[in-house]
Structure 1
C-alpha cells in the first residue's frame, strides 16, 4: 500500500490566501482574477515550511514565532500586491 502525501502542506498557504483576501480592498487596481497571482508571488517569496498536520505547527511554535511569521506573511503579501500592480500598469502602457 502506498502512503498518502495529501496531508503535507506549506504552512504559509492558508495565511497568505487569507491575507490576500483581507488586503484586496487596499489595492483596487488589482483585479480579482489576479488575486491568485498575488498569492503565488507571495508564496514564492516566503521560505517554504512544510508540515503534515496544523496541530504540529501550533505545538512547536511559541507566540513570538507566530507573531513574527504573521508579520512576515503580511509584508510579503503587500509586496506581492505592489509587484502585480506594477506589472499590470507596465503592460497597460505597452
Structure 2
C-alpha cells in the first residue's frame, strides 16, 4: 500500500451517503459523478488515515453537522449540475 492510498477525505463517504439518500431513477452515473464533484468542492476536506480513529474522535454533534452539510451540499450540487448540463 502506498502512502497515497492511506489518506482519505471523510466527506467523500458522507457525500456518497447523501447522494444515495436523494437518488432518483433518472439519475445517470455521469450526473451523479458531477454532483459528487461539485458537492465535495463546496465542502472543507476532512482527512483521516483510519476510519476507526475518525469515528472515535468525532463528537456526535460534529458528525451530525457534517452529515447535514453534506446533504445540503448534494442538494445544491444537484441544482447546479442540472442547470449547467451540456446538451
What runs of 5+ residues in structure 2 fail to find an aligned partner? none
Quote the offset at 1:64 in angstroms.
0.7
Aligned with residue 37 of structure 1, among 22, 34, 39: 34
d(CA) in 2 for partners of 1:18 and 1:63?
17
What runs of 5+ residues in structure 1 fail to find an aligned partner? none
Quote the offset at 1:41 in angstroms.
0.5
What is the TM-score normalised by the length of structure 1? 0.80
1:86 alignment counterpart: 83
Q: Which runs of 4+ in 1 moved over 3 A?
A: none
Larger Rg: 1
Matches within 5 A, 1:52-71: 52-71=49-68
What is the alpha-carbon root mean square deviation over aligned residues? 2.1
- Matching of residue 48 in structure 1 with residue 45 in structure 2: yes
Quote the offset at 1:6 in angstroms.
1.1
What is the TM-score normalised by the length of structure 2? 0.86
Quote the offset at 1:35 in angstroms.
0.5
How many aligned positions are there?
87
- Matching of residue 72 in structure 1 with residue 63 in structure 2: no
